[in-house]
């Protein structure tokens, strides 16, 4: 029984550590993006791009005009 308890406590500790590491990783990457002058999210990067519309004659995708 004590071995199972140690396993459960170890798993809980590993989950907490993984969550803390993921949060720190995201914070550092956002800070690096700001320092580089890049948008912090993919949505911000897509805002400046034109939408594409399919040309019915050729079937190619072209920017909206």
Give the model's pLDDT for residue 44.
Answer: 66
Q: How confident is the model over 20-58, as pLDDT tens digits?
A: 999 999 999 989 888 887 655 666 666 777 788 888 889
Tell me the average pLDDT across 6-13.
96
State yes or no: pLDDT of 62 exceeds 90.
Answer: no
Does the predicted model carry a pTM greater than 0.85? no
Give the model's pLDDT for residue 65.
Answer: 59
Domain span holding position 12:
2-63
Q: How confident is the model over 11-23, as pLDDT tens digits?
A: 999 999 999 999 9
Helix (H, G, I), strand (E, B) or coil at 23: helix
Rounded CA separation 55/6 (Å): 63
Distances (CA, A) of 17 to 6, 7, 8, 23, 64: 16, 15, 14, 10, 47
């Amino acid at each position: 029984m004590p071995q199972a308890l140690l396993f459960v406590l170890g798993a809980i500790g590993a989950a907490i550590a993984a969550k803390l590491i993921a949060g720190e990783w995201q914070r550092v990457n956002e800070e690096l993006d700001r320092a580089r002058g890049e948008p912090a999210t993919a949505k911000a990067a897509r805002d400046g791009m034109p939408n594409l519309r399919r040309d019915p004659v050729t079937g190619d995708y072209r920017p909206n005009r």
